[in-house]
Structure 1
Amino acid sequence: MKWSEMCIHTTNEAIEPISNILHELGASGVVIEDPLDLVVEKDAMFGEIFELDAKDYPEEGVYIKAYLPFNSFLGETVEEIKQAINNLIMFDIDLGPNQISLSEVNEEDWATAWKKYYKPVQISDKITITPTWEEYTPKSSNEIVIELDPGMAFGTGTHPTTVLSIRALEKYISGQETVIDVGCGSGVLSIASALLGAEEIYAYDLDEIAVKSTQLNAKVNKVNPSIHTKQNNLLNNVDIKADIIVSNILAEIIVRFIKEAWENLVDGGYFITSGIIQAKQQIVLDQLEEQGFEIIEINELEDWVSVVAKKK
């Protein structure tokens, strides 16, 4: 079978929303080629492993590559994707060059070539994320290993926004908590919560594919009994008292459900937000404080920000 590789030259800010569009419109796998991965000094303490070639990366911005079936509907699908991406401008998302190109690839080449990008990565003091096909031996008895299959999910869990979220969860989960994961994607934050000791996790996503990915990855990591997944729009009609709410999505989306997050947290509960670019940090902080939250921490990694707020 032949596939069409769609390459979108855009910005780091647009990675999450464009990737979501691609998955929703039938892309069978997405690869992110960010030149920051070539030049940013990684946390040596976490022993990350990369096999990257500078020729694969743009000088500025990022490449998002998606793979679409080469069939009679390809032209319509491509146009639908282009329109959906252009509509992101209405949400004040910088699309950068927004240049799209198509090329043809054979299934045999694509099915294995993309796996070279993903290796085991230790992203926090305790947690290492590894693709399911890689052999990995924990370095200590305290190390927590999360196995993910990027082919069925939304990335490998090593994006800076995810790393920031997991580091916050590691700090604030002490055991037996109830956690709500808003916009669960691959389920990596829900899985991390369970493995760190949370008792009940409620994982919500509007995308049915994300819900299925969370369920599958939860089973792979043997934590599915603790994770309750449901297709849902943010926290609409959710009435659960949680100790922690975590959400790794766009700043524009986070501010839409701050009131609901407040209502679903116990007194003294934590709201962990990520997926926020530095330019939009203040928008989130202002809305959180207006609602009554106390800002506990602001953490940064590369161009991204994570905020931990407490219900006073």
Structure 2
Amino acid sequence: MSAESEPRYPFVVVDVSAEVSDELAATLFELGASGVEERDDQTLLRGVGAGRVTLVASFAERAEAESAIEALREIDATLTPRIEEVVGDAWRDAWKEHFAPFALTPRITVAPPWVEAPTPPADGHVLWLEPGRAFGTGLHATTSLVAELLDAHADELSGKELLDVGTGSGILAFVALKLGASRAVAVDNDADVIEVVEENAERNGLRDRVEAREATTEDITREFPWVVANIEARVLRPMAEDLVRLVAKGGWLILSGILESEHDEIVARYLGLPRGLRHVETRRRGDAAAADTAWVAIAFAG
């Protein structure tokens, strides 16, 4: 097949400040993007650095991408969006060459299924993971911070059931199970990622201990001793009541997807609810002085 006849995939690429990246990503979806990747200093493919985020939005047709660029310029004339095209299907697997086994926590090594089995740490485990079209390789700070908190509190987690809200690839549910959780319920509002979670569960021999389904917090009616949600602060704010409602008495709630600059507001939001949670611990990644680029994960307990 010649290059002229191969399929072409248009992307809108725009560099923005970290504090407006979530809002602009949502705008790109409203403009017709089928997916939006965020690249920063913590992701597999780096952004432009210096507290900036590179948004890469995929579109079905070039005309749609061009319309989105016009709309972005009308919204903010200082933006400099551009179109990039990839020809052919090889790009779909190109990221795999950068995804090698790595230590996610002191006891969990993450490995992609196309490599030889790595040696796990002492008293540790290998987690086989292919993110596919779902977020969550473990390489981003928001994911690794939650995983580290689960590892640090593995004794309390052992034998308990965990709810993973916004599960993506299912990585946090699998980390919990490897660390001794009895069962995990993994939910996401994106139906496409559920198959990814089920495939990863099968790879790790965990299929009978994971329930993966399309759902939101509003769809869940029972409580869990452990709840984790690695989403974004703009989503965690309005869903605070629902998330806290799902935490059993004496249970744990871990949140991430939160910048240092958003930390105090999120803590106040969750502590201000009638349920009476207490703030147990905050873990940080990055320079706390650069509050719009450093990430945090926050642990609460009932």
Q: Provide the residue aligned with 1:170 in structure 2.
A: 151
CA change 1:271–1:223 in 2 (3 A) is: same
Aligned pair count? 280
Give matches, 1:1-312, under 5 Å.
1-12=7-18, 18=25, 25-27=33-35, 30=37, 33-35=39-41, 58-60=48-50, 61-65=52-56, 68=59, 73-76=61-64, 79=67, 98-107=79-88, 109-174=90-155, 175-233=158-216, 235-291=217-273, 292-302=276-286, 303-311=294-302
- CA apart distance, 1:65: 3.6
CA contact (8 A) 1:10 1:99 kept: no
CA-to-aligned-CA distance 1:226-254 (integer Å, 9 cap, x gap) = 11122122x21422221111010112222
Question: Judging changes above 3 Å, is the alpha-carbon distance between structure 1 residues 81 and 185 closer, same or farther for their aligned structure 2 residues?
Answer: farther
Structure 1 residues 79 and 200 mapped into 2: Cα distance closer, same or farther (>3 Å)? farther
Contact in 2 for aligned 1:194/1:201 (Cα 8 Å):
yes
Letter in 2 for 1:157: G
Separation in structure 1 between the aligned mates of residue 27 and residue 192 of structure 2, nearest angstrom: 10
Alpha-carbon distance in 1 for matches of 2:248, 2:118: 38
Bigger mean CA offset, 286-295 vs 158-167: 286-295
Question: What are the ranges of 5 or more consecutive residues in structure 2 without an aligned counterpart?
Answer: 1-6, 287-293
Deviation of residue 276 (structure 1)?
0.8
Question: What amino acid sits opposite 1:74 in the alignment?
Answer: R
Could you tell me how far apart the structure 2 residues matched to 1:184 and 1:159 are? 14
CA RMSD of aligned residues (A): 3.3
Give the CA deviation at 1:118.
1.9
Shift of 1:220: 2.2
SS in 2 for 1:212: helix
| CA spacing shift, 1:260–1:173, aligned 2, 3 Å | farther
CA distance in structure 2 between the partners assigned to 1:208 and 1:102 by the alignment: 28
* Separation in structure 2 between the aligned mates of residue 36 and residue 197 of structure 1, nearest angstrom: 28
Relative to structure 1, the CA distance from residue 127 to residue 209 in structure 2 (aligned partners, 3 Å threshold; closer, same or farther) is same
Q: TM-score, normalised by structure 2?
A: 0.79
Would you say the 8 A contact 2:109–2:120 is kept in 1? Answer: no
Classify 1:78/1:133 alpha carbon distance in 2 versus 1 (closer, same or farther; 3 Å). Answer: farther
> Matched residues in 1 for 2:99 and 2:22: separation?
18
Structure 1 residue 21 displacement after superposition: 6.4
1:273 deviates by 0.7
Residue 129 of structure 1 contacts residue 158 of structure 1 at CA under 8 Å; is this kept in 2?
no
Query: Which residue matches 2:4?
Result: none
Q: What is the CA distance between 1:116 and its match in structure 2?
A: 3.0
Conservation of the 8 A alpha-carbon contact between 1:130 and 1:146: yes
Question: How far apart, in 2, do the equivalents of 1:239 and 1:81 lie?
Answer: 42
Q: Which runs of 5+ in 1 are unaligned?
A: 38-49, 90-94
Percent identity, aligned pairs only?
23
